[in-house]
Structure 1
Amino acid sequence: MRVDKYLWCIRYFKTRSIATKACKDGKIRVNGDIIKPSRDVYPMDKITVRKNQINYELVVLDTPDSRIGAKLVDIYRKDTTPKEALQKLDLLKYSKDYYRKKGTGRPTKKDRRDIDDWYSDSETNDSEE
């Protein structure tokens, strides 16, 4: 089975085209080698997936016939991602919260649009009275 199809089947990517793009961008490694999307995977291959600033490591146990349910994923792969990598994801989440609290600092583009809408609504209500 192709590596992009395998990663889509075991639900690491939402669509197969996203999995193909990740392979082309060099974010997928099989046995330490950067590969093309058409590379076949076999049982006991070690795949490294770089996604959301985390290197997920998995071992291929078997290849499914088609996309499978989330509960059945562990039949086809063994997740060997180190705990430190998953803890790094939590730290990234906390650092984003620390960066800027909602409602503080300079308004974002969305905030400015909401303010402009509010002002334009209040002006139309004043002219109606």
Structure 2
Amino acid sequence: MSASELQRVRIDKWLWAARFFKTRSLAKQAIDGGKVHCEGQRIKPSKEIETGVSLTIRQGWDEKTVEVVALSDQRRGAPEAALLYKETEQSIAKRQAEADQRKALRGTGIQTERRPTKKQRRQIHRFREQDTATGD
């Protein structure tokens, strides 16, 4: 059965074919873990999707909102997989803003020139033990 003849495809198979996840097993785990929503609702891996359906997919720090444009149950190259969905403009803008915010916050941590020496490490351990002994 070719991709043009498909009317419905299991969501876990489609996520794998669209290259959101490396394996169907990982796609299933993400769905079971509540990281994939269809039209704002939690779903099961066996749910069959159609074209035009809106999916929200959380991967690591990023959350993508995509619309299913085409169906496929076969995994192909990345250029072909990208044709299976279209990410919304709001999703792209939101992901970019969050990435910029994370990048800006990355430099605010304490920067050290090198790892602590053995003497400094002992001082850190003593300080932490002292802190736990007082109950704070």
Q: Extract unaligned runs of 5+ from structure 1.
A: 113-129
Structure 1 partner of 2:96: 86
Change (3 A) 1:47 1:102: farther
- Aligned-residue offset at 1:106: 5.0
User: Separation in 2 of the partners of 1:101 and 1:70?
Assistant: 39
Partner AA of 1:87 in structure 2: A
Give me the TM-score of the superposition, normalised by structure 2: 0.68
Partner AA of 1:5 in structure 2: K
- Aligned-residue offset at 1:68: 1.6
Q: Extract unaligned runs of 5+ from structure 2.
A: 1-8, 122-136
User: Separation in 2 of the partners of 1:97 and 1:3?
Assistant: 39
Partner AA of 2:95 in structure 1: A
Give me the TM-score of the superposition, normalised by structure 1: 0.71
Identity of aligned residues (%): 30
User: Separation in 2 of the partners of 1:12 and 1:104?
Assistant: 38
Aligned-pair Cα RMSD in Å: 2.3
Q: Is the 8 A contact 2:31 2:44 kept in 1?
A: yes
| Equivalent position SS for 2:48 | coil
- Aligned-residue offset at 1:35: 0.4
Structure 2 partner of 1:16: 24
How many pairs does the alignment contain? 108
